[in-house]
Amino acid sequence: MNSDFVDLLNGYGVDADGLRTRYDNERDARERPDAVRQFVKVDAEFSHYVDDPYAEPLDRMPIEDQDTDAVVIGAGFGGLLAAGRLRQAGLQRIRLVERGGDVGGTWYWNRYPGVQCDIDSYVYLPLLEETGYLPTLKYAYGQEIFTHARRIAQHFGLYPDALFQTGVTDLQWQDDKARWLVETDRGDRIEARHVVVANGALSRAKLPGIPGIESFQGHTFHTSRWDYAYTGGDQNGNLDRLSDKRVGIIGTGATSIQVVPHLAESAREVYVFQRTPSVVGPRNNRPTDPVWAVSLQPGWQRERMENFTDVVYGVRDDVDLVSDSWTELNKAITGTAATRAERRLGRTLSADERKLAIEFSDLRAGNALRDRIETLVEDPATAERLKAWYYLYCKRPCFHDGYLPAFNRPNVTLVQTAGTGVDRLTERGVVVGDREYQLDCLIFASGFEVATSFVSQTGFDPVGIDGVRLSDHWVKGPRTLHGMQASGFPNLFFMGIVQNSSTLNFTHMLAEQAGHIADVVARSVRRRQPVTVTAESEQAWLDEMLAFAGDAEVQRWLRCTPSYLNGDGDVENAFGFLARRYAGGPQRFFRLLEQWRTAEHPEGLVYL
């Protein structure tokens, strides 16, 4: 190694070997062979966990509809963006089909106290310029985001044909009619030319497979179905009915980080059961600056969105329009860290040197975040337990100003479980080690299904040309072109994380996908022919993903502590969040899509 580079690494001031060993040990303690199978599917005796607490019971007659232009399954931001773009492409009859009682998706379901989007609201809330809305805060709360989803649905006139509290059960391609037959759990039969599946990447609540989970006799619910009738209060907190209650919460991910401060304020006793700590950086929320608001010029949101994606993926650091904890953190742990090292040394780094520069920068940022805990949490033992020992993107980093100080309250106890989690539940509470924590209420902040199959996450199995089921076509994992179309499934489009390049700002990816899908649909409408992709193009796309999966990136994920990002430790899981995705980063992926669309004959696209 060149001496200038050795000096540079020394300048980071990290004990790299010590941290690597610690990270490895902490990961090993958490790895378990059942990976994603450790969770319990929320159906059968657990289905009450996903009952809708917000909607009035609905009784309606089934719908027979032979002439729908498009059915969009899911009315979260993905479905709304797709439906909006299809409307702009000239489609008239667009039906949203949605399990919830309204649009909003994740923002319909997640109404827990403190619910907030931790991404800059001016890049996260879609279509701000088109709808003429500007969020009130840099980080908007759930209610405001939900209202914005409703605003988008109204803007595009999507309510009249929407079917709420309705789940798709079957999807069958009818060759003779060149339409999909969409059937639902309310007996609807809708024939649609095009179908977009926008069911959401994190939409199926999951429960940890803890022995005895069914035996707990106290009150219990999942964070995505918050029971205000039991807790009192609302999304702003003030959970007054908990004042005499002992409340436990399992999980310390992004949701729990937002919930715990409110439990701490309201409940008599709070027990936070932690398996792996989250990284928690500063939030610094603030109201929208009116002077800035009037200075905005047309096109500002796209510019800001693209700039954010560029900065957090290490493409540039010269201009940082969002300039927050996300962008600062990402500058430390992406290619930007290596680029900055190159600037300091005045030379280009080799590939290995770049990797080391990024790793050391990540370790240094981790040390700073761990040190920060000591300044905020008074009890040294609790502070120690709150420290995360993994590379910063092994889990989704979190940002909150109230979470860490909540542990200074006398009514809040952090219970550290062994690496594999809570030992068991009893009728009375939670057992960790040799102690039973007796509880009146146990809240599951245990996240959502990821890396299970398409059928598990959507509840239906599309049947394409010649009666081929998608589950058979994808038996060894998804096969798509660009993650959005599958060969033999004409006029069917997928939105989400599979086989494309997801973005930290999720709605950026959804907006690009929506535009792409609308473009392909418009071609099919113009030619009056269904459209699909060739098996060859699908294979070529898969090969590109697989080449990447065999690469250094996967090695990095192998070294990570388990999380939903790496298939809970099973990095080979073909349905995994980050498995089999486009390697070049989101902006290159979006440009690739754009080039594909502008070609006279987009490669792999075929009309039937």
125 interacts with ligand NDP by CB under 6 A:
no
Candidates 538, 523, 540; CA nearest to 607 is 523
272 interacts with ligand NDP by CB under 6 A:
no
- Say if residue 328 is exposed, middle or buried (CB neighbours under 10 Å; 0-12, 13-18, 19+): middle
> Which structure tokens are listed for 360?
């050391």
- Binding segment toward ligand NDP, per CB under 6 A, in 78-86, 112-120, 146-154, 576-584: 112-120
To ligand NDP, the closest distance from the beta carbon of 38 in angstroms equals: 7
Amino acid at 509: M
To ligand NDP, the closest distance from the beta carbon of 372 in angstroms equals: 19
Interactions with ligand NDP, residue window 146-205 (CB under 6 A): 202
The single residue among 121, 330, 417, 501 that binds ligand NDP, judged by CB under 6 A, is 417
To ligand NDP, the closest distance from the beta carbon of 159 in angstroms equals: 26
Coil/strand/helix, residue 321: coil
Sign of CA dihedral 249, 254, 257, 262: negative
122 interacts with ligand NDP by CB under 6 A:
no
DSSP letter, residue 240: G
117 interacts with ligand NDP by CB under 6 A:
yes
Q: How far apart are CA 607 and CA 282, in angstroms?
A: 51
Residue pointed to by tokens 């959804």: 510
118 interacts with ligand NDP by CB under 6 A:
yes
To ligand NDP, the closest distance from the beta carbon of 546 in angstroms equals: 26
> Which structure tokens are listed for 121?
């609201």
Q: How far apart are CA 385 and CA 276, in angstroms?
A: 9
Angle, CA 194 vertex, CA 189 and CA 195 arms, to 5°: 70
Q: How far apart are CA 587 and CA 310, in angstroms?
A: 7
605 interacts with ligand NDP by CB under 6 A:
no
Lay out the site mask for ligand NDP across 420-459 (x = CB under 6 A, - = otherwise). Answer: -xx----------------------xxxx-----------
Q: How far apart are CA 245 and CA 227, in angstroms?
A: 14
116 interacts with ligand NDP by CB under 6 A:
yes
**CA torsion, points 214, 115, 166, 231, in degrees to nearest 10?**
50
Lay out the site mask for ligand NDP across 343-382 (x = CB under 6 A, - = otherwise). Answer: ----------------------------------------
Interactions with ligand NDP, residue window 195-224 (CB under 6 A): 202, 208, 210
Which of residues 180 and 399 has its CB atom nearest to ligand NDP in the complex?
A: 399
Query: If binding means CB under 6 A, how many residues of this protein chain bind ligand NDP?
Result: 28
Which of residues 316 and 396 has its CB atom nearest to ligand NDP in the complex?
A: 396
Interactions with ligand NDP, residue window 564-593 (CB under 6 A): 564
**509, 501 in Cβ contact below 8 A?**
yes
- Say if residue 476 is exposed, middle or buried (CB neighbours under 10 Å; 0-12, 13-18, 19+): exposed
Coil/strand/helix, residue 293: helix
Which of residues 43 and 67 has its CB atom nearest to ligand NDP in the complex?
A: 43
Main-chain phi, psi angles of 173, to 5 degrees: -80, 130
281 interacts with ligand NDP by CB under 6 A:
no
To ligand NDP, the closest distance from the beta carbon of 218 in angstroms equals: 17
To ligand NDP, the closest distance from the beta carbon of 451 in angstroms equals: 11
Q: How far apart are CA 438 and CA 242, in angstroms?
A: 15
Coil/strand/helix, residue 55: coil
To ligand NDP, the closest distance from the beta carbon of 277 in angstroms equals: 8
The single residue among 242, 250, 315, 470 that binds ligand NDP, judged by CB under 6 A, is 250
Coil/strand/helix, residue 123: helix
DSSP letters, 510-560, are HHHHHHHHHHHHHHHHHHTS-EEE-HHHHHHHHHHHHHHHTSHHHHHHHTS
The single residue among 273, 391, 403, 589 that binds ligand NDP, judged by CB under 6 A, is 273
**136, 111 in Cβ contact below 8 A?**
no
To ligand NDP, the closest distance from the beta carbon of 388 in angstroms equals: 9
Which residues, 6 or more positions from 548, have their beta carbon under 8 angstroms from its beta carbon?
A: 580, 581, 582, 583
Q: How far apart are CA 383 and CA 414, in angstroms?
A: 10
Interactions with ligand NDP, residue window 484-523 (CB under 6 A): none
480 interacts with ligand NDP by CB under 6 A:
no
Q: How far apart are CA 254 and CA 112, in angstroms?
A: 12
396 interacts with ligand NDP by CB under 6 A:
yes
322 interacts with ligand NDP by CB under 6 A:
no
Interactions with ligand NDP, residue window 80-109 (CB under 6 A): none
Which of residues 263 and 422 has its CB atom nearest to ligand NDP in the complex?
A: 422
Which of residues 447 and 567 has its CB atom nearest to ligand NDP in the complex?
A: 447
563 interacts with ligand NDP by CB under 6 A:
yes
- Binding segment toward ligand NDP, per CB under 6 A, in 251-259, 281-289, 510-518, 536-544: 251-259
251 interacts with ligand NDP by CB under 6 A:
yes
Give the footprint of ligand NDP on this chain (CB under 6 A).
116-119, 202, 208, 210, 250-256, 258, 273, 275-276, 396, 417, 421-422, 445-448, 563-564
